């Protein structure tokens, strides 16, 4: 048995569930996740991912009907948001933009149902994250092999790493999501502690360096915010009580200092400097502050269409800048109105609520830490949403769907154990849910 298999089974047993094996449909999810991370941005390879997704959707539909797998609250809120967004067809100026965006988001929803549903049914969060990290490794290896890294180091202020993502900001974002996945693996039980921690420490360091080379300010800020949130939600009680954890935090702090020193000559440092100069009035324009004009435009559009919005992807049509709003809050409010805003961000509120209920109700340390990790991730996403949008971003929804399915299973197991304590596998562990 491989180390990965051992860890997957350990993950299952941490919930009091004996491994059931991987159904054929679940096996397909792994390669699909890897393909979505690596080649989804490439034409014509993106059609391969779409075709793969269609096949997987039909296979999952048969599986869901047979085993009576129902969508959780997050999936229901997502489809309610998409349904509400259909009223925008009456206000949309560009029907082509409207239907292209709506159909893409519907595909995202189908993907969410598949990944979340199978994670809920089979409790294989580790499996999803392992394939996600494999895809990130391919993205990083490609950038290294093609010389993206060396150009970013020696090519001057304008060179930034984009690689297979074709977008430097997206490259940094993927590395941030990989850090979240590695944090989960860091916390998961394992038979080989030292080797696992060494590998993960190297991986997290490489992800931080890659974020710097991407030149993405949001990615670097997000990394700092995530590490602080992860420590706060998962380890704040142990940091001062356990020397090992304290040493790990010290290593992270030293690594952060090294990263900052390393970043002084990188494009990201120049971009932060531009932002500071724009704030202090040393330069006019640039530094990201021009996006304030985009947000002002979004507010103007929202005030004019507060209930229905102007339609999916119509902000750029109504804006005098003919660009996206560069903020999920602004984009969702302008495009789908107040109702759409509440439904969409209700997805994150539902995840936050469930994670909080798990932390207060369940005493299993590993499960509580996973819930804390989810809260740290949500804070990063919601803060960075001020400057980016994720509703059509496959990598972020793969991670969110995986954790949503996991937390839904944990919460339903716990509720079942409270309804029938005799069926629970132990005093601190939720009972398994029958899926068919």
The owner of tokens 């080989």 is 192
List, for residues 141-180, the tens digit of each pLDDT value. Answer: 998 888 877 766 554 545 788 889 988 889 999 999 999 9
What pLDDT is recorded for position 266? Answer: 61
Total Cβ atoms within 10 A of residue 423? 10
CA–CA gap between residue 216 and residue 150 (Å, rounded) = 17
Look at the block and give the residue holding tokens 């491994």: 19
The string of DSSP codes covering 355-394 is: HHHHHHH---HHHHHHHHHHHHHHHHHHHHTTT---TT-H
DSSP secondary structure, 139-165, as one string? HHHHHHHHTHHHHHHHS-TT----GGG
Contacts of 176 (CB under 8 A, 6+ apart): 207, 211, 219, 222, 223, 226, 380
Work out the pLDDT band at 421, boundaries 50, 70, 90.
low
Residue 83 has what pLDDT?
Answer: 97
- Per the CB < 8 A criterion, the answer to whether 118 and 26 are in contact is yes
Please say whether the beta carbons of 91 and 9 come within 8 A. no
How many whole angstroms separate alpha carbon 393 and alpha carbon 360?
31
315 CB neighbour count, 10 Å cutoff: 27
pLDDT score recorded for residue 396 = 96
pLDDT at 158: 55
pTM metric for this prediction: 0.85
* Alpha carbon distance 231, 183 (integer Å): 10
Rounded to 10 deg, the angle between the 394-419 and 125-146 helix axes is 160
Q: Alpha-carbon Rg of the chain, whole angstroms?
A: 22
Measure the CA–CA gap between 174 and 396, rounded to whole angstroms.
8
Residue 160, pLDDT score: 82
- Cα separation, 92 vs 86, whole angstroms: 10
Range of 26-30, 210-214, 375-379, 412-416 with top mean pLDDT: 375-379
Phi and psi torsions of 203, nearest 5°: -60, -45
What's the pLDDT tens digit per position in 37-56?
999 999 888 899 999 999 99
**In the chain, % of residues over pLDDT 70:** 77
The 8-class DSSP code of residue 71 comes to P
Mean of per-residue pLDDT scores for the chain: 82
Confidence band of 424 (pLDDT split at 50, 70, 90):
very low
Q: Which two tokens stand for residue 31?
A: 């390669």
315-326 mean pLDDT: 88
CA 42-47-49 angle, 5° bins: 85
Residues 133 and 286: their CA atoms lie apart, in Å, by 34
Cβ-Cβ contacts under 8 Å for 413 (sequence gap 6 or more): 15, 16, 430, 431, 432, 433
């Amino acid at each position: 048995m491989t180390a990965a298999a051992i860890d997957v089974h350990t993950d299952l047993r941490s919930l009091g569930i004996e491994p059931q094996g991987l159904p054929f449909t679940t096996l397909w999810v792994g390669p699909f996740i890897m393909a979505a991370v690596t080649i989804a941005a490439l034409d014509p390879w993106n059609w391969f991912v779409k075709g793969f997704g269609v096949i997987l959707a039909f296979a999952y539909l048969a599986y869901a009907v047979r085993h009576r797998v129902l969508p959780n609250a997050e999936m229901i809120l997502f489809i309610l948001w998409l349904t509400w967004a259909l009223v925008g067809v009456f206000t949309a100026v560009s029907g082509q933009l409207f239907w292209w965006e709506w159909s893409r988001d519907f595909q995202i929803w189908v993907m969410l149902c598949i990944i979340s549903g199978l994670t809920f049914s089979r409790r294989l969060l580790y499996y999803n994250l392992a394939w996600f990290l494999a895809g990130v490794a391919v993205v990083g290896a490609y950038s290294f092999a093609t010389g993206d890294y060396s150009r970013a180091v020696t090519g001057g202020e304008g060179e930034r790493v984009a690689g297979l993502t074709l977008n430097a900001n997206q490259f940094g974002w993927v590395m941030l999501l990989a850090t979240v996945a590695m944090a989960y693996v860091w916390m998961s039980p394992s038979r080989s502690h030292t080797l696992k921690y060494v590998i993960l420490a190297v991986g997290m360091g490489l992800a931080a360096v890659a974020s710097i080379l991407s030149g993405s300010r949001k990615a670097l800020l997000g990394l700092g915010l995530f590490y602080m949130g992860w420590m706060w939600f998962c380890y704040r009680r142990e940091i001062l009580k356990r020397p090992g954890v304290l040493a790990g935090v010290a290593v992270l702090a030293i690594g952060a200092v090294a990263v900052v020193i390393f970043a002084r000559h990188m494009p990201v440092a120049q971009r932060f400097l531009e932002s500071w100069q724009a704030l202090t009035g040393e330069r006019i324009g640039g530094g990201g502050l021009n996006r304030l004009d985009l947000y002002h435009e979004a507010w103007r559009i929202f005030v004019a269409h507060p209930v229905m919005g102007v339609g999916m992807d119509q902000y750029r049509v109504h804006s005098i800048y003919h660009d996206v709003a560069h903020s999920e809050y602004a984009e969702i409010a302008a495009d789908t109105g107040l109702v759409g805003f509440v439904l969409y961000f209700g997805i994150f509120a539902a995840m936050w609520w469930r994670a909080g209920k798990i932390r207060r109700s369940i005493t299993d340390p590993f499960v509580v830490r996973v819930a804390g990790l989810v809260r740290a991730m949500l804070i990063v996403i919601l803060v960075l949403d001020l400057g980016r949008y994720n509703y059509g971003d496959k990598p972020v929804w793969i991670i969110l769907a995986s954790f949503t399915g996991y937390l839904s299973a944990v919460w339903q197991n716990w509720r079942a154990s409270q309804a029938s304590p005799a069926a629970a596998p132990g005093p601190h562990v939720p009972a398994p849910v029958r899926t068919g």
